[in-house]
Structure 1
């Protein structure tokens, strides 16, 4: 936090506060979560496709022998997640619209005989798996990581003129544990699932594309 504070004092950064796991240039990055990874026993050979909804799921994959999973195409929730899986050497089946509920329509395109493996966090915001299972789709889940609110977000000093970017439901939840919105704050959410947590709390804007880059571009327009 000391480094962030010094940059702000020097005027190097705009009053845009990015609440996310990954940083970005030109804004104040507040790490939202501390992540713990698990390694449950998984027989990847029985699955046709993976479902990946975060970069952390891809980090969790790195705890397994690469040859066990890298040949399995993945349905990715967003372009950022898809790029992370490609960088690992994996094949992307499709890119969804950036929020969990949108995954339903993509899985529905495939036969119900297909076996899917969803690599997930211990707590998730979307119930898309239950919806698909009730329709007869074969979707298994494995919890490969857990998150908790970071010390950084608790210690953050948020100025009254800040534009706040929230990149996940948990980023909103952790912010509200330690802070409250001021009338002068402006909020940006990365997607519809995150937006649900700000309804009736503060007005917000959402970019056309569910990426951090698009959120930052929109934030600059609000300054």
Structure 2
């Protein structure tokens, strides 16, 4: 549904001592732009982000309790109030809660992939949505059928769904949890 493209040529590490990542995509793109990010302690939102930081050789110092910006804001205020944090982020974010707490740099943008109408999911399909962007891109490509059921990766994504969409929220904010729930729903035919 989506692709990610770098928009920054370099990362401005000036006046920062800690990095903040809110998705595994931001970690991968930071790594492509400048591997020097690995020299900085990193805070992660979500297990998948933390895993990607570690896999790419970064130094994970904190993982938010929940995969929401509000929980990261709390973590920053409690444990990192004297840190100079640089948030490496996408062009569009679902929450601006972190804007006053950290310095930000947009390093990538999310673009919709175009699909032919022949790729429209079957009736009674379970559609996994992992961000407000994936919802927007799905709806740019296809008409939502009444028989569909969405599986949202979390509360913020679920709140971005149109009001007429039936949905469930995964037990934890990971793609694997979304897939497990989607398989259960598909088998049960909701």
TM-score range, shorter chain: 0.7 to 0.9
- Per-residue deviation, residues 60-90 of structure 1 (Å, max 9, x unmatched): 2223442x32121211111011101100111
Aligned partner of 2:87 in structure 1 is 118
Contact (CA 8 Å) 1:189, 1:206: kept in 2 or not? yes
Counterpart pick for 2:135 among 149, 168, 172: 172
Say which SS state the counterpart of residue 93 (structure 2) adopts: coil
Q: Which runs of 5+ in 2 are unaligned?
A: none
Q: Which whole-Å deviations, capped at 9, do the CAs of 1:27-75 have from their partners, x for residues lacking one? A: xxxxx11222133443425322111012221122223442x32121211
Q: How many residues align?
A: 185
TM-score relative to the length of structure 1? 0.76
**CA RMSD of superposed structures (Å):** 2.0
1:86 to 48, 54, 79: 54
| Cα distance in 2, alignment partners of residues 222 and 153 from structure 1 | 26
Deviations 1:141-178 (A, max 9, x none): 11111121112487632111211110111001111222
2:9/2:33 contact within 8 Å kept: no
3-state DSSP of counterpart to 2:147: coil
Deviation at 1:197, TM superposition (A): 1.0
1:127 to 84, 88, 96: 96
1:158 match: 121
Task: Return structure 1 stretches of 4+ with deviation > 6 angstroms.
Answer: none
List runs of 5+ in structure 1 lacking aligned partners.
1-31
In 2, Cα distance between equivalents of 1:149 and 1:196: 20
Correspondence list, 1:69-80, <5 A: 69-80=37-48
Matching of residue 145 in structure 1 with residue 114 in structure 2: no
